Structure 1
Amino acid sequence: MIDTQHFRPVSYSRTTLTELMIPSYANFGGKIHGGILLSLMDKAAYACASKHAGNYCVTVTVEGVHFLQPVEVGELVSLKASVNYVGNTSLMVGIRVIAENVKTRMIKHTNTSYFTMVAKGDDDRPTPVPGLILEKREDARRFLEAIKRRELSKRYQTELSNSKTILQVEDELHLLQQERCKVAF
C-alpha cells in the first residue's frame, strides 16, 4: 500500500471544469474573450493543485497559452486539469481546453497551457506538497516533459539575467533590418 500522506496518484486530483459560454463572455466579434478563458484555466489549475497539495495554492507562472481556435457563445468549454509535476512546494498543472457545440456535436481543442502553482501553509509561506504517483506511461511522459520545460525556462531566465548577455542596442541594431519596424533615434 502506498502512503498517500506523502504521495498521491495523478488521478487523485484530476479535475474537469465545464462551463457554458454565455453572451456576456463575448467580445465585439462574438468570440469568447481570452481573459475569460484564462480565468477559467486559473480556477481549474487551483482546484487541481489544491486538491493534490491539501492546501491553498497560488499561481506563479502561466506558460503555453496559445489560442488555437476561437470559442463561440453557446459552446460548452471543458478544462481538463492534471498535476504533471511536483517539486518541493510547487506543482505544474497541465490544462487541456476543449469546446463543444452541443447542436452539431463538434468538439475542438482550443488550447493547452501549463500553470505552475505553489502550495501555501497556514502561515502563508510555501509548504511541501505530496509526491506524485505516476500511474500510466502518459503520466511519466508528462512529468518528464515538465522537467524539460523547467530546464528550458531556467536556462532562458539565466541567459536574460546574465550581465554578459544583456543586449547592447548598438551592437544588435542590424537584427532589426529584416523586421517590420523603423528605428527613429
Structure 2
Amino acid sequence: MHTQYKKVSESAVTFSELMLPSTSNFNGKVHGGYILSLMDQIAFACGSKHSGTYCVTASVDTVNFLNPIEVGELVTMKACVNYVGNTSMVVGIRVDAENIQTGVVKHCNSSYFTMVARSEAGKSVPVPGLLLTSKNDVRRFTRSLQLKALSKQHKAITKNFKFDIIEAVEQLKDERVKIDLL
C-alpha cells in the first residue's frame, strides 16, 4: 500500500484577530473560553488541510494561560501538524498577542489538539504521513510521542484508581481542607 506524505508546512495555518470589547470578561481581559474557541477553529483548519477531510476534536492537551490578552491587542495563532497516527493528528498551536501601538509581542498560550479525520459517513479515515524536513519538525514529532506515552500512563492510573475513605482522609491531613462528613 502506498502512503502519501505531506510536509508540515503544507498544512500550517496562521490567523490574526483584533480583540474587541465583546470578547472580554468582567476584568477587561479577553475570555479564556473565547481563545479556546479560536484555537479549536485553527486546529480544525490545520487538521482538515492536512487530511483533506472533515476533522473532529478528540482531545485537548494541557492549556496554560501564560499571559492575559487585553482588549485592543492583535492575537496571532499559528498551528501545524506535529504528529500523525493512522487517523489522528496532533496539532500544535501557539498564541501570541501584540500591542499594536507599541509592537510588543507576548506569548500567551501553547496547546496541542488531537484531531481525528472523518468521512462523510462519520467513520475515521486514514491521514497522510508527515514528511519531517527540519530539526524543529523532528523535535515536535518526538515531543508528541512523549506526550502520547504520558497520556497512556495517565489513562492507566485513572482506570485503576481505587478509593478508600480511610486512606483518603489520611492523605488529606496536611492539605488545606476541612472534612465534615455527615
Quickly name the TM-score band, shorter chain normalised: over 0.9
Amino acid at match of 1:149: L
Q: Which residue of 1 aligns with 2:173?
A: 177
Shift of 1:142: 0.5
**Counterpart in 2 of 1:45?**
43
**Unpaired segments of 5 or more residues in structure 1?**
none
| Structure 1 residue 181 displacement after superposition | 1.0
Residues 62-91 of structure 1: per-residue CA shift (max 9 Å, x gap): 112100110000000011100000000000
Structure 2 Cα separation of the partners of residues 117 and 63 of structure 1: 11
Q: Gaps spanning 5+ residues in structure 2: where? A: none
CA distance in 1, matches of 2:26, 2:33: 14
Q: Quote the Cα distance in structure 1 between the aligned partners of 2:21 and 2:106.
A: 20
Letter in 1 for 2:154: Y
Q: Pick from 3, 9, 32: which aligns with 1:34?
A: 32
Aligned match of 2:57: 59
Q: SS of the counterpart of 1:81?
A: strand
The amino acid that maps onto 2:135 is: R
1:172 CA drift (Å): 2.5
TM-score, L = length of structure 2: 0.96
Q: Which residue of 2 aligns with 1:124?
A: 122
Q: Deviations over 1:131-176 (max 9, x none)?
A: 00011011001101101101100111011102xx423232232221
Question: Partner letter of residue 84 of structure 2?
Answer: V
Aligned residue pairs, count: 180
Secondary structure, in 3 states, of the residue corresponding to 2:28?
Answer: coil
Structure 1, residues 86-105: CA drift from partner, whole Å, max 9, x if none? 00000000000000001011
> What amino acid is aligned across from residue 138 of structure 2 in structure 1?
A
Q: Secondary structure at the match of 2:113?
A: strand
Q: Distance in 2 between matches of 1:22 and 1:85?
A: 34
Match of 1:19 among 5, 17, 20: 17
Provide the alpha-carbon RMSD of the alignment: 1.1
% of aligned pairs identical?
Answer: 50
Q: Which residue of 2 aligns with 1:82?
A: 80
Question: What amino acid is the match of 2:122?
Answer: D
The residue matched to 1:176 in structure 2 has which SS? helix
Structure 2: distance between partners of 1:6 and 1:169 = 53
Distance, in Å, in 1 between the alignment partners of 2:165 and 2:133 is: 50
TM-score, normalized by length of structure 1? 0.94
| 2:135 aligned residue | 137
Match of 1:7 in 2: 5
The structure 2 residue matched to 1:157, chosen from 144, 155, 169, is: 155
